[in-house]
Structure 1
Amino acid sequence: MVGEVNIAVHVAAGKGLMNEWWKIESCTPGGAVLTGGYELPAKYVLHTFGSGFRNQAMLESCYSSCLDLVLEHNIRSVVLEVAVRYAHKTIPRLI
């Protein structure tokens, strides 16, 4: 399911997102990067790199990295897709 959501976001955002995506140097597992939203009804898209989210610590790191970017860029509204089994334990602690 996560792969399907990723594809849907990239298709809906258009070529601008893909062009920016290919310029991203790297991101470590547990990290996140911010791109423009392009043709989406959003200014930004947060991308996480979780190596399959095999454990709760990895998921926590991904969401924490996203929230750090939200604060750094003074983003006032955010939607996070939760598609893994550890989310019910992780999200309440980070917020």
Structure 2
Amino acid sequence: VSLYKGDITVLEVDAIVNAGKDTAWGPHGFDGCIHKAAGSCLYDECHSLNGCETGKAKITCGYDLPARYVIHTVGPVARGHVGPTETNDLTSCYQNSLRLMKEHGLSTVVSRVCYRTHLRGNYASFIKDDCDKFLVC
């Protein structure tokens, strides 16, 4: 496990994890940066996936990225309250991303610490207050 601060779209890894939205792919924020770096083919493939439900994960090619793949996952919307549903959905984001990693034989994957924390609720305090251990992959 390593900690990296910088632009993950320049890393030569098996996959990067994109914390996207359920129906819209790009062009804003973290998701938009990945799509811009990967090129229009990533948008086209994402569009063909017909969205991604909260807590689920889907995998696409990396296209113009140095990363071979992009794993897309959608975090829950907390709206100021982190309850059991949000906790389970966030857990599912990590579990489903790791499942895709295993299914595709990926060994080097870069993921953000918390999916969608800046837009979707105060998960950082949830982690600090309610978790004994927190794994960053």
Retained in 1: the 8 A contact 2:76–2:90?
no
The corresponding residue for 2:97 is 66
TM-score norm. by structure 2 comes to: 0.58
1:60 partner SS: helix
The corresponding residue for 1:25 is 50
TM-score norm. by structure 1 comes to: 0.81
- The structural deviation recorded for 1:91 is 4.2
- The answer to which structure, 1 or 2, has the higher relative contact order (CA under 8 A, 6+ apart) is 2
More helix by share: 1
The 2-side partners of 1:5 and 1:91 are apart by 22
Give the direction of change, closer, same or farther, for the CA distance of 1:12–1:21 in structure 2 (3 Å limit): same
Retained in 2: the 8 A contact 1:32–1:66?
yes
| 1:44-89 deviation digits (Å, cap 9, x = unpaired) | 0010022336533221110100000000010111001124325664
1:14 matched to 2:39? The reply is yes
1:80 matched to 2:111? The reply is yes
Consecutive unaligned residues in structure 2, runs of 5 or more: 1-18, 20-27, 118-123
Structure showing greater radius of gyration is 2
The 2-side partners of 1:23 and 1:15 are apart by 13
The 1-side partners of 2:112 and 2:91 are apart by 14
Consecutive unaligned residues in structure 1, runs of 5 or more: none
The corresponding residue for 2:73 is 48
Retained in 2: the 8 A contact 1:59–1:87?
no
Runs of 4+ in 1 over 4 A off after TM superposition: none
CA RMSD of aligned residues (A): 2.4
The 2-side partners of 1:87 and 1:4 are apart by 23
1:45 partner SS: strand
